[in-house]
């Protein structure tokens, strides 16, 4: 019985969808209709460092199949 419960819990955690990172003021795709990056290879990675309300953020973007930047990660950088 314990094995069944543990297996069910593990499946629940592994199958849970990840939470999307939403752009904030200072993000490259915040309130903008970005044009496509026609000369940039799909899967390319780019970074963005910015300050918002005194907090330093670092974001990671990947160029998606539609040639637009997709925000995949944001961290707070401690100074």
Domain ranges of the chain: 21-76
Question: Cα(37)–Cα(28) distance, rounded to whole angstroms?
Answer: 13
pLDDT at 6 over 90: no
For residue 4, name the pLDDT band (cuts at 50, 70, 90): low
Cβ atoms of 64 and 20 closer than 8 Å: no
Confidence of residue 23 (pLDDT cuts 50, 70, 90): confident
List the structure tokens of 23: 């752009």
Q: What is this structure's pTM? A: 0.69
Task: Please report the pLDDT score of residue 16 as a whole number.
Answer: 44
pLDDT at 38: 86
Whether the per-residue pLDDT at 49 is higher than 70: the answer is: yes
Ramachandran angles phi, psi of 70, nearest 5°: -110, 120
């Amino acid at each position: 019985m314990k094995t069944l419960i543990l297996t069910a819990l593990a499946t629940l955690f592994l199958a849970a969808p990840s939470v999307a990172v939403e752009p904030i003021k200072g993000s490259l795709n915040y309130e903008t209709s970005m044009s496509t990056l026609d000369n940039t290879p799909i899967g390319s990675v780019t970074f963005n460092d910015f300050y918002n309300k005194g907090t330093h953020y670092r974001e990671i973007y990947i160029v998606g199949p539609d040639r637009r930047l997709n925000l995949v990660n944001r961290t707070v950088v401690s100074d």
